Chains A and B, each alone.
Chain A
Amino acid sequence: MSLQLPTYPQPDERGRFGRFGGRYVPETLIPALDELQAAYTEARNDPAFLNELDRLLKDFVGRPSGLYLAQRLTEHAGGAKIYLKREDQNYTGAHKINNCLAQALLAKRMGKQRVIAETGAGQHGVASATAAALLGLECIVYMGAEDIRRQALNVFRMKLLGAEVREVTSGTSTLKDATNEAIRDWVTNVRDTFYILGSVVGPHPYPAMVRDFQSIIGEEVKVQHQALEGRAVPDAIVACVGGGSNAIGIFAPFAYLPEHERPLLIGTEAAGEGVESGKHAASVAGGRVGVLHGAMMYLLNDDEGQIVPPHSISAGLDYPGIGPEHCLYSETGVAQYVPVTDAQALDALQLLTRLEGIIPALETAHAIHAAVNLARTMRPDQTVVVNLSGRGDKDVAEVMRLLDLGREQDAAPAPRTPEVHA
């Protein structure tokens, strides 16, 4: 057996990482969560399940993804070496497929023929639809109307893969509302439906289970960094955080190392138009502790507990909360979470594209921005690994729109400066 699932610290008996997490859901779902927990515990120790997952990750997804030295980006920053963990090389274009395949296999094992998923940018939806097609499962994807507009290509992909995309028009018509709708569907059809949750959020055991499934990213980094640099642990790791699944996937294998061996872990939150503007999705920098989608976490909510609509240039980061394990990392100083604005992300996207020939997703561009700034402050013998969580194909139409918008604004008549007469 070549694949083993990691044994990082599990949440406590109430499903919490410190004070975060838990199971704040309608009682209807509690037995289903218990059932899922039991099935997952059994599956993760079953060679048949692990072998099948291993085979699919290798032959279907194309793992391991590369750890690539970004030479021109490194030169540009002028400090530490910048490595890119190439999750964009995965089939379907992002890290999401790792978790979806594992959960879909689990669904099949549990005898559930119907799977549901929520999606923001569409990457998790596409990955769920792909896994469902591969394994012969019925798939329904909930997606906000606003995201359907922003991500038309992924919507078409899901339909082509045989999934039904259900448009959500409640609330802000984005990811949080799609998640509400998926949970409502699950409450209603819990007996025959498996909910493929896309990030390290939601009620226990999802945050820990999704972490375990995504941690293959960080585990591969250890091996690859060892081969390239003669040591398993990089000096710093940077990843973007919405709910936080790609970040936890690359952080977790390092987060539980003793403090003096642990790399600097940086999560980038979507600061939108700036945390002070109120138009952002930075739950650590601009939120406070609350409960959403079954878990206690840092959350954008007002002083009466109503959820504040998040904003980000990137549909995938447009989520008002952040996974409970990240909350614990933040509270205990294991990782730092820094805000990166829409404009900074858009610049970083163009920078990486022009220097390395890699068009990253808008989500990932947030991490690129922070990694370049960080590398600049470090020595050339040090390394920064950026989780290149996904490729930008899905975003090019939106980026084109945004850049055109920028050009129009540039083209507007500039305030006249008085002519200087010599």
Chain B
Amino acid sequence: MTATLTPTTPGAARLHAAFARAKQEGRAAFIPFMTAGYPTAQAFPAVADALLGQADILEVGIPYSDPLGDGPTIQRASEQALAGGTSTRHTLALVRELRSRHDTPIVIMTYVNPIYAVGPREFMRLAQEAGVDGLILPDLPPDQDLEIADLAAEHGMAVTFLIAPTSTPARVKLVAEACTGFLYAVSVTGVTGTREGSALNEVPAMLALARQYARVPVAVGFGVKDAETAAQVAQVADGVVVGSAFINAVKAGQDVGALAASIREGCTQN
């Protein structure tokens, strides 16, 4: 089965423009991630504002009870956000509020169960209303559910699927061709989270393979934690995703905006 090619959507166009702008400035696009409703529903908008001040694209995670692809940092953040009452519909309301203040494209990271529970069509309608530009689906290989990508397109949004260092060339082709927003390359075999040292040696080969098939920008995430690792990734990728490092910063009461500015700086391409 091959993935259905989706037409270009307003969301995809906005994402592609953000990558193009960053490139003009000699940078890989900087894509910070934050769990919606973290550390609290009240405090989240200020954290998001600080990230949006630096971001080319903001990735907002719907907190989920059983996040298979996440390490302990994001999992604990999800548990805390859920305990504070933030889940699917509330996340979309928070995004809607952010969009009223910011022009920066926003993508939603969600596991598929919240989409199925709300109902795929209803979920897409709510996401479109909130101003979401794209979806990142970490537990949805594109050949499992082609309808989700079509529904997202129908509602003006782009979809991002993931490849990993274990992906065979055939899988890379299938995933790359299904992406309409950007392609998300997972830097390591593993879950999200910052790691000791850098384990990014598999990235260049994976990206070379991905670029043979992808007609969209390619971003790299997992294990990128600071300006230095971002700089490494930026040499080969169109975008750099950083998540757990910001959760850790929030937890430690550090200045999230300053960390974001330093990582954005690190995204400079030589």
How near does chain B come to A171, taking the closest CB pair, in angstroms? 6
Q: Per-position contact with A for B125-142: 1 when CB-CB < 8 Å, else 0?
A: 000000000000011110
Please report the C-alpha to C-alpha distance between residue A272 and residue B119 in the assembled complex, in whole angstroms.
Answer: 29
Please report the C-alpha to C-alpha distance between residue A87 and residue B42 in the assembled complex, in whole angstroms.
Answer: 54
> Which B residues between 18 and 54 are near A, CB-CB below 8 angstroms?
none
| Interface status of A3 (Cβ within 8 A of chain B) | no
Task: Find out whether the CB atom of A27 lies under 8 angstroms from the CB atom of B164.
Answer: yes
How near does chain B come to A306, taking the closest CB pair, in angstroms? 5
Task: Find out whether the CB atom of B118 lies under 8 angstroms from the CB atom of A304.
Answer: yes
| Interface status of B2 (Cβ within 8 A of chain A) | no
Please report the C-alpha to C-alpha distance between residue A190 and residue B162 in the assembled complex, in whole angstroms.
Answer: 17
Task: Find out whether the CB atom of B191 lies under 8 angstroms from the CB atom of A23.
Answer: no
Closest B-chain residue to A31, C-beta based? B166
| Interface status of A301 (Cβ within 8 A of chain B) | yes
> Which B residues between 159 and 202 are near A, CB-CB below 8 angstroms?
161-168, 171, 175, 186, 189-191
Q: How many A-B residue pairs have CB under 8 A?
A: 123
How near does chain A come to B59, taking the closest CB pair, in angstroms? 16
How near does chain B come to A267, taking the closest CB pair, in angstroms? 23
Q: Per-position contact with A for B102-143: 1 when CB-CB < 8 Å, else 0?
A: 000000000111111110000000000000000000111101
Max count, chain A CB within 10 A of own CB: residue among B75, B82, B89, B189: B189
How near does chain B come to A193, taking the closest CB pair, in angstroms? 10
Contact A176/B117 with A25-B141, A26-B162 known, Cβ cut-off 8 Å: no
| Interface status of A404 (Cβ within 8 A of chain B) | no
| Interface status of B79 (Cβ within 8 A of chain A) | yes
| Interface status of A351 (Cβ within 8 A of chain B) | no
Give the chain A neighbours of B1 by CB distance below 8 A: 13-14
| Interface status of B68 (Cβ within 8 A of chain A) | yes
Please report the C-alpha to C-alpha distance between residue A22 and residue B163 in the assembled complex, in whole angstroms.
Answer: 18
Contact of A24 among B114, B140, B186 (CB under 8 A): B140
Give the chain B neighbours of A190 by CB distance below 8 A: 166, 189
Please report the C-alpha to C-alpha distance between residue A262 and residue B161 in the assembled complex, in whole angstroms.
Answer: 44
Task: Find out whether the CB atom of B168 lies under 8 angstroms from the CB atom of A28.
Answer: no
Task: Find out whether the CB atom of B68 lies under 8 angstroms from the CB atom of A26.
Answer: yes
Q: Per-position contact with B for A292-309: 1 when CB-CB < 8 Å, else 0?
A: 111010010111111100
Give the chain A neighbours of B144 by CB distance below 8 A: 14, 22-24
Give the chain B neighbours of A303 by CB distance below 8 A: 117-118
Task: Find out whether the CB atom of B189 lies under 8 angstroms from the CB atom of A28.
Answer: yes
Please report the C-alpha to C-alpha distance between residue A299 and residue B112 in the assembled complex, in whole angstroms.
Answer: 14
Please report the C-alpha to C-alpha distance between residue A293 and residue B69 in the assembled complex, in whole angstroms.
Answer: 11
Binds B, one of A48-56, A64-72, A180-188, A389-397: A180-188
Task: Find out whether the CB atom of A27 lies under 8 angstroms from the CB atom of B163.
Answer: yes
How near does chain B come to A27, taking the closest CB pair, in angstroms? 5
Give the chain B neighbours of A301 by CB distance below 8 A: 113, 117
How near does chain B come to A114, taking the closest CB pair, in angstroms? 14
Closest B-chain residue to A13, C-beta based? B1
Please report the C-alpha to C-alpha distance between residue A24 and residue B190 in the assembled complex, in whole angstroms.
Answer: 16
| Interface status of A170 (Cβ within 8 A of chain B) | yes
| Interface status of A289 (Cβ within 8 A of chain B) | yes
Max count, chain A CB within 10 A of own CB: residue among B143, B166, B171: B166
> Which A residues between 14 and 37 are near B, CB-CB below 8 angstroms?
14, 22-32
Please report the C-alpha to C-alpha distance between residue A303 and residue B88 in the assembled complex, in whole angstroms.
Answer: 9
Task: Find out whether the CB atom of A27 lies under 8 angstroms from the CB atom of B191.
Answer: no
| Interface status of B97 (Cβ within 8 A of chain A) | no
| Interface status of B65 (Cβ within 8 A of chain A) | yes
Contact A23/B117 with A13-B1, A187-B190, A304-B89 known, Cβ cut-off 8 Å: no
Please report the C-alpha to C-alpha distance between residue A187 and residue B68 in the assembled complex, in whole angstroms.
Answer: 9
Give the chain A neighbours of B68 by CB distance below 8 A: 25-26, 180, 183-184, 187, 293-294
Give the chain A neighbours of B255 by CB distance below 8 A: none
Task: Find out whether the CB atom of B116 lies under 8 angstroms from the CB atom of A305.
Answer: yes
6 new A-B contacts at CB < 8 Å, known A26-B138, A30-B141, A301-B113 = A14-B144, A24-B139, A180-B67, A290-B116, A291-B112, A291-B116
Q: Give 18 CB contacts A-B under 8 Å.
A: A14-B1, A14-B143, A26-B162, A26-B164, A29-B166, A30-B141, A30-B166, A31-B166, A183-B68, A188-B190, A190-B166, A289-B116, A291-B111, A291-B112, A291-B113, A294-B68, A294-B139, A307-B65
The 5 closest A-B CB pairs, nearest first, are: A305-B117, A305-B114, A28-B164, A304-B88, A188-B190
